Amino acid sequence: MKKGHLFILSGPAGVGKGTLRKILFREVEDLEYSVSCTTRKMRAGEAEGRDYHYISRDEFEGMADRGEFLEWAEVHRNRYGTRKSDVERVLNEGRDIVLEIDVKGCRKIKESEPEAIRIFITAPSLDELENRLEERGTETSEQMGVRLRNAAAEMKHAAEYDHVIVNHDVARASRELVEIIKSYRNAGRQCDDLQQP
């Protein structure tokens, strides 16, 4: 059986990755989302197994020591990791999976999964990103400063990605994301058709 595609979405906090991902999953059938493990506390409106697998720091460290993560990182004093078994199961079933991870995690996964398709979501500018974070109202001024510094650093790596989407307008950016995903799926089907006797 042909392996599925591994799509990686990256981009700074507040750029709209989650919104675009939700639209993508409404528009494209049979996509799987990789739910990461995290040591951070659950936020209002989140659910175990849908947004994250919420685990203790000790559990996380044990899994990391056993090599159970495809990648993991510490971000804003919390740890986040992608379980290797979850991703491999979906890909080996011939299905496509989407990961939403940071630049460092993307690099790590690219080492072990060189076929991964990397998509970077960015804001039109840092000023626009700052406005979006302020509107979100979930960070203190200190946290905002950290996120903006991290965003500036992450945006410098956009050129390493296979595709870059500037989220100036959600409708347009989501269409672009859907078209990218569908183009890889269609290319795979065309290859399969050519191999048929």
pLDDT at position 104 is 87
At 177, the pLDDT band (50, 70, 90 cuts) reads very high
Counting residues of the chain whose pLDDT is more than 90, the rounded percentage is 67
pLDDT per position as a tens digit, 52-70: 999 999 999 999 999 999 9
Domain that holds residue 82: 6-195
At 194, the pLDDT band (50, 70, 90 cuts) reads very low
Asked if the structure places residue 1 within a domain, the reply is no
CB atoms within 10 A of CB 74: 12
If you average pLDDT over every residue of the chain, what do you get?
Answer: 90
Which CATH number characterizes residue 178's domain? Answer: 3.40.50.300
The first and second tokens of residue 125, run together, are 């500018």
What's the total number of domains in the chain? 1
* Cβ–Cβ under 8 Å, residues 6 and 114: no
The Cα 70–Cα 113 span in angstroms is 9
Asked if the structure places residue 98 within a domain, the reply is yes
Q: How far is CA 157 from CA 16, 83, 87, 154, 172, in A?
A: 18, 24, 24, 6, 23
Residue that has been written with the tokens 């050519």 in this structure: 194
The Cα 131–Cα 179 span in angstroms is 28
pLDDT per position as a tens digit, 65-95: 999 999 998 877 899 999 999 999 999 999 9
DSSP conformation class of 43: P
3-state helix/strand/coil string of 79-141: EEEEEHHHHHHHHHCCCEEEEECCHHHHHHHHHHCCCCEEEEEECCCHHHHHHHHHHHCCCCH
